[in-house]
Chains A and B, each alone.
Chain A
Amino acid sequence: MAIILKVNGRSYPLDLDPTTPLLYALSDDLQLNGPKFGCGLGQCGACTVIVKGQAVRSCVTTVKSVEGYDITTLEGLGTPERPHPIQQAFIDEQAAQCGFCLNGVIMTAKAFLDKNPKATEAEIQQAMSGVLCRCFTNVRMLRAIAQYGKATAR
């Protein structure tokens, strides 16, 4: 069945079972490396994309339910040569170890701070409480998020 997904500003007609989780369409059909399978249960954040300004867990979201909406993945923010300010903040803070969680951390933080630019440290912590980093790069990541928050609030 043809499903049209709008990802990072482009439309892709895809022949998919409408119950297919969005994550598989992104990582397999569109060959994007940003969104990742972490748990498949919506518990860790690794698969997060942004739809209508909201952080969405693509592993538990069917392609049918987001058809026609603008979907932004990590690749849609910036490139290694021209990173988005939140991506730059993570580079500045050297906020990674293995890097597998970065997609979920960056996309969740961006969606939250873009809507709540004046969020306090405690509110950021709360917003990031459903996201995992098993290397526990928390200190640097929360610092990078705060740096982006400050820049957004200005």
Chain B
Amino acid sequence: MKLHRRDFLKASGGLIVSFSLRAQGPLQGSPPLNQLDSWIAIAADGSITAYSGKEELGQGISTAQQQLVAEELSVPFNRVKLIYCDTALTPDQAHTSGSQSHPANFNTDNLAQAGATAREALFRMASQKLGVPVDRLTASNGVISNGSQQVTYGELVQGKKFSLVLDPKAKRKSPSEWTVLGKPIPRPDLPDLVTGKFEFVHNVRLPDMLHGRVVRPPFLDATVSSVDESSVAGMPGLVKVVVKKNFVGVVAEKPWQAIQAAAKLKVTWNPGPPLPDQATFHDSLRKLPARDTLMVDSGDVEQKLSGAATVVKATYLHPYQMHGSMGSSCAVADVRDDKATIYSATQAVWYQKNTSAMILGLKPENVHVIFRRGSGCYGVNGADTVTYDAAILSQAVGRPVRVQLTRKDEMAFENYGPAYVIDQRAALDSSGNITTWDHESWSPGLGNRPGTNRPGNIITGSLLGFPPADFAPQSAGPAPARVNNNSNGVPSYLAAVTGVVQSGRVRTHAVESRFFTGPLRSPARLQNTFAHESFMDELAAKVKADPVEYRLRHLRDARLKEVLSAAAKTATWETRPSPKSGNRKTGIATGRGAASVLYEGNNGYTALVAEIEVNQDTGKIVVKRMVAASDVGPISNPDGLRNQVEGGALQGLSRCLGEEVTWDTAKVTSVDWRTYHSLPLGFEVPKIDAVLINRTEGEVMGAGETSITLVAAAIGNAIFDATGARIRQVPFTAERIKAALAARA
């Protein structure tokens, strides 16, 4: 098997390492990835079932996977049944995350190669059966024929296994031949979704099922002092109070009974240590013991900075943000004796199987995890933790238990997307070109995805007494010979990645967080790109260059340049420096901003232009238009891609305008939609133009995290263009914008 990007991740910067690191191959018991039968089965009646370890979270990947198999096997879209993420049936493909599903299953491994291997096998079988050479045969609608004779897939396979190893030489169909893949096939789940027929994990109902409710600590890191079970004695429907170390929950016959019992249960807690002051939080990160990484170092950065005519410096701040799933997380578990069946919206069923076995004290082979869709997660939301909740409560009562978190419990104990402090310095020569770029970041982390063996990386595992992954401060080793820009810590403009600037350094400092952290859509890449693409704009402004032209001047990668140029062209970008001349300093001012990046250093070219209005009296921003260009290789489903680009752009807007986790001395205080500020469905939604470059000859890349990565920078740059005020702290609240306006020279 060929080496994947994720095998190289160890060298990448800071916390990002474990976000997508896969230390070993598939877990024991998983259908082997190199066997055709792990991926595709053809029944005697010719019906085709495909198995995948990449699940539908709402991103449209199941539609694309169904298209892929239909295409390779030359059958109509709806002839393929797709089963994904069930530990009894499907291969272990680790997490569905990191924009990895497309690269993993649509290039030359896994599901795509299974499709090609199956097609060639079917042609060989047909050739034998009909006595006709393979090159005289064609396939259509599940039938192989030479014009006069024909045989169906069902007749060829006869419901048997293929018993073949995936053939790395089996030829995928060329995009020029595609009739199903590459087309805007509508999502097959929509009719059930819009009519309430679709079964989310929230709707799993098992016979004899009870309802659980957890009682989380009222303060961060509080521990149980005592639980007074008599406080709920005799409550209607109450089945059991469950206490295990700091895990507390109740089980009742009906949901409302469980809710009432949990509210009434008297638990005395020992408070945890006080939380750091949020007002000075970002600066405090610089002083904590850190695990340091040197991502890139040309060795001459200080020398170039000290000898430069012009040095520009800026510091960018990003808050903790949350996944904030629309529906609070839910799971259903049936744990009896030594066996467990678990319905979960986890992004990694096989890892959930392993870690659920750990918390339950069962053998992994006796735990069966079945994915059911949850509310959109955008990373590690509460899906894994509530799965442990349901499993523990079910084990305690020996009956199936459903648990859904409260809004507050979802939001107060998430694995947040981490905060960042980023210092940038650059030197410019007499023609305004960048001669060196120095980037240094600090970011807090705690826990992460549970992975194969760390249930303590999330709240329920931690309450049950499992420790999170160790944090050990460590000084940086030498920069690796080959740059890994998975975290986008390295600015695009360095020659070490996609640019022309020979000199540069990137240092990261991972420090310990009091809050759990984990991957949130575009983890680290969004924060780093906000800092890089804002700073690039500051440099362009310093030398009075047009921000797009200045970027192009410092880029080497042709595809990155093309995607930026395409966005600028569609936006009819006016070439001139920022800020826009002639804008008044009061009232409404208009402006535009651009940003671009190669996501993860190799997983999606993307550029964004935003056009905005700033009300300089109120600090309110209205975004009028966003042009998002993307080049992610051959497009599997243009409408699905467009949906991801549009959603990413607006989710990025919500994150950059309002979203920020807040806390007081003891607890998180952003615990509902009044205190955590998301944009609603109805607001003055910008016009969004998704410019899709269909690079049919290239490798398939990820598309789910491209546009979102650029929004904060593009909006910040547009604010500067409109007003001359630079905003360097996300979210761009009206107060911060007014402060930046007041600070204008």
Given contacts A40-B406, A91-B186, contact A138 B324 (CB under 8 A): no
B236 at the interface (CB under 8 A from A): yes
Distance (whole angstroms) from the CB of A31 to the closest CB of chain B: 6
The B182-203 residues at the A interface (CB cut-off 8 A) are 186-187, 189-200, 202-203
Of listed A80, A91, A100, A128, residue having the most chain B CB within 10 A: A100
Residues of B within 8 A of A28 (CB): 211, 254-255
Taking a contact as CB atoms under 8 Å apart, the answer to whether B673 and A96 are in contact is no
Q: Could you list 9 further interchain pairs (A-B, Cβ under 8 angstroms) beyond the known A38-B407, A40-B406, A139-B688?
A: A34-B196, A43-B407, A96-B58, A96-B189, A99-B58, A124-B682, A134-B376, A138-B683, A138-B685
The A115-154 residues at the B interface (CB cut-off 8 A) are 124-142
Chain A 31-62 interface mask (CB, 8 Å, partner B; 1/0): 11111111111011110000000000000000
Interchain Cβ contacts within 8 Å, total number? 196
Closest to A97 in B: B58
Taking a contact as CB atoms under 8 Å apart, the answer to whether B375 and A142 are in contact is no
Residues of A within 8 A of B654 (CB): 136
Closest to B185 in A: A94
Give the CA-CA distance A45 to B247 in the complex, in Å: 31
Given contacts A31-B205, A34-B196, A99-B198, contact A80 B191 (CB under 8 A): yes
Q: Is the interface of A mostly helix, strand, loop or mixed?
A: loop
Given contacts A46-B327, A134-B325, contact A97 B647 (CB under 8 A): yes
Taking a contact as CB atoms under 8 Å apart, the answer to whether B255 and A132 are in contact is no
The B559-607 residues at the A interface (CB cut-off 8 A) are none
Residues of B within 8 A of A102 (CB): 193-194
Closest to B189 in A: A99
Of listed A43, A73, A99, residue having the most chain B CB within 10 A: A99
Residues of A within 8 A of B374 (CB): 98, 100
B684 at the interface (CB under 8 A from A): yes
Given contacts A99-B189, A137-B643, contact A78 B195 (CB under 8 A): yes
Distance (whole angstroms) from the CB of A35 to the closest CB of chain B: 8
Closest to B690 in A: A139
Q: Is the interface of B mostly helix, strand, loop or mixed?
A: loop
Residues of A within 8 A of B58 (CB): 96-100, 135
A selection of 23 A-B contacts at a CB cut-off of 8 Å is A20-B256, A27-B255, A28-B211, A31-B205, A33-B199, A34-B195, A37-B327, A40-B406, A75-B197, A78-B195, A79-B197, A87-B195, A96-B58, A97-B60, A98-B58, A98-B375, A98-B376, A100-B376, A102-B194, A125-B684, A133-B326, A136-B654, A138-B685
- What residues of chain B have their CB less than 8 Å away from a CB belonging to chain A? 57-60, 186-187, 189-200, 202-203, 205, 211, 236, 254-257, 324-328, 373-376, 378, 404, 406-407, 639, 643, 646-651, 653-654, 672-674, 678-685, 688
Taking a contact as CB atoms under 8 Å apart, the answer to whether A94 and B326 are in contact is no
Tell me the count of chain A residues lying within 8 A, CB to CB, of chain B. Answer: 63
Taking a contact as CB atoms under 8 Å apart, the answer to whether A132 and B680 are in contact is yes
Of listed B194, B255, B673, B674, residue having the most chain A CB within 10 A: B194
**CB-contact partner of B194 in A21, A90, A129, under 8 A:** A90
**CB-contact partner of B195 in A17, A83, A97, A100, under 8 A:** A83
Chain A 1-26 interface mask (CB, 8 Å, partner B; 1/0): 00000000000000001001100100
Distance (whole angstroms) from the CB of B548 to the closest CB of chain A: 25
Distance (whole angstroms) from the CB of A123 to the closest CB of chain B: 10
Give the CA-CA distance A102 to B404 in the complex, in Å: 19
A106 at the interface (CB under 8 A from B): yes
Give the CA-CA distance A80 to B186 in the complex, in Å: 14
Closest to B648 in A: A136
A71 at the interface (CB under 8 A from B): no
**CB-contact partner of A43 in B327, B674, B684, under 8 A:** B674
